[in-house]
Amino acid sequence: MKIEEITLREIQMPLVHFFETSFGRTYSRRILLVAVNCDGVNGWAESVAGENPFYSDEWIDSAWATMRSFLAPALLGKTVAQGRECAALMSQVRGHRMAKAALENAVWDAEASQKKQPLWKLLGGTRREIPCGVSIGIQDSIEQLLDKIESELAAGYRRIKVKVKPGWDINVLERIRSRWPDITLSCDANSAYRIGEIEHLRKFDQFHLLMIEQPLWNDDIYFHARLQKQLSTKICLDESIRNARDAEAALELGACGILNIKVGRVGGFTEAKKIHDLCQSHKVPVWCGGMLESGVGRAHNIALSTLENFRLPGDVSASKRYWKEDIIEPEVEVSSSGMISISNAPGTGYRVREDLIEKLTVRKETLSASVVAHA
């Protein structure tokens, strides 16, 4: 497959409901979509870089600039047999994993279409349906949060994750557990606590959570290991796992008992698979995280979640929880038993609605091999 053209575009989509974490509130998404043209076949992907560098140091404008100036030129005009070869071609650039992931995954997407194979099979998946959980943001009141949990449970979701931060944690978990003593419940702090707060964090143990996600610094592994020794609740690392090497260090140190894999955070499908395989060999379960993706990113998360060691419900949920209208067809639907069934169709099994995407586009740039050669 010759990588002939790469089109970057930004679409803007308001969320059905704002999403609040310990680092801030989002009302509307600015989403960077990538389309690669390989031998006339289009592959699509989404960069999960956010509107600001608050979750990680990447954000949409840094991803765009890095793709345009460095990553796209490293790929354009090259011939690859498989999407997995892209990571090596872009390896001169340090970091910028969310930018790299979108380009690599778009080539995987094109490869699946060209081979007329489901992307999930190409990735080595085996599951024909995947279990789903939901991530529920910080609300204006605990009552509003309880109402949301009630409707997500009624919809069939198999795991409830709530966002926590100092002042919205023990009080909230107490109210949830007194109403639902037995549901599968977890929490995500997005780095809101410090190692000096061990006594406070030990109070989380009374709620029998499935896990506590990323309690400490976004770039830390060592102090999470120290904290894990003091908690009975399993720690799950998200932000601080950038690659398979980080995952290996975290497992060796005992910094977590569960791992969240986000394909954007780790730089693409190739690295995500490596982390998956490593955790599997250590008998540590993983689950697929989400970044408020549009259908394009959602479809890729679904394909990845078919790998065997994605044993816990992910944050991959129905399109309608986020969007009035999603940019794929059909939209992602979750059954009343909290499962997404996996299509056997070639590619992702979801059609990209290019007409709708065109209407939502606020910025677009097409880069081609000849332009790069003359630049």
Q: Which residues bind Mg ion (CB under 5 A)?
A: 188, 213, 238
- By beta-carbon proximity to ligand OSB, the closer residue of 332 and 369 is 332
Q: Which position among 118, 215, 289, 349 is part of the footprint of ligand OSB (CB under 6 A)?
A: 289
Of 100, 161, 262, 273, which is the active-site residue?
Answer: 262
Strand partners, 368: 5
Please tell me whether residue 315 binds ligand OSB under the rule CB under 6 A.
Answer: yes
Window of 6-14, 263-271, 288-296, 361-369 that interacts with ligand OSB by CB under 6 A: 288-296
Q: Which position among 152, 188, 246, 271 is part of the footprint of ligand OSB (CB under 6 A)?
A: 188
Which residue reads 């995947």 in tokens?
A: 130
Q: Which position among 292, 299, 312, 352 is part of the footprint of ligand OSB (CB under 6 A)?
A: 292
From the list ligand OSB, Mg ion, none, partner contacted by residue 204 (C-beta under 5 to 8 A by kind): none
- By beta-carbon proximity to ligand OSB, the closer residue of 15 and 225 is 15
Please tell me whether residue 58 binds ligand OSB under the rule CB under 6 A.
Answer: no
Of 100, 161, 163, 273, which is the active-site residue?
Answer: 163
Q: Which of residues 199-228 bind ligand OSB (CB under 6 A)?
A: none
- By beta-carbon proximity to ligand OSB, the closer residue of 46 and 271 is 46
Residue 115 is among the residues annotated as catalytic for this protein: no
Please tell me whether residue 266 binds ligand OSB under the rule CB under 6 A.
Answer: no
**To the nearest whole angstrom, how small is the minimum distance from the Cβ of residue 89 to ligand OSB?**
28
Q: Which position among 113, 190, 294, 309 is part of the footprint of ligand OSB (CB under 6 A)?
A: 190
Please tell me whether residue 64 binds ligand OSB under the rule CB under 6 A.
Answer: no
Residue 163 is among the residues annotated as catalytic for this protein: yes
Window of 80-88, 247-255, 287-295, 354-362 that interacts with ligand OSB by CB under 6 A: 287-295
Residue 178 — φ and ψ, nearest 5°?
Answer: -70, -25
Residue 25 gets the label, from left (phi > 0), alpha (psi -120 to 50) or beta, of beta
Please tell me whether residue 238 binds ligand OSB under the rule CB under 6 A.
Answer: yes
What residues are annotated to the active site?
Answer: 163, 262
Footprint on this chain of ligand OSB (rule: CB under 6 A): 21, 55, 135, 188, 190, 238, 289-292, 315
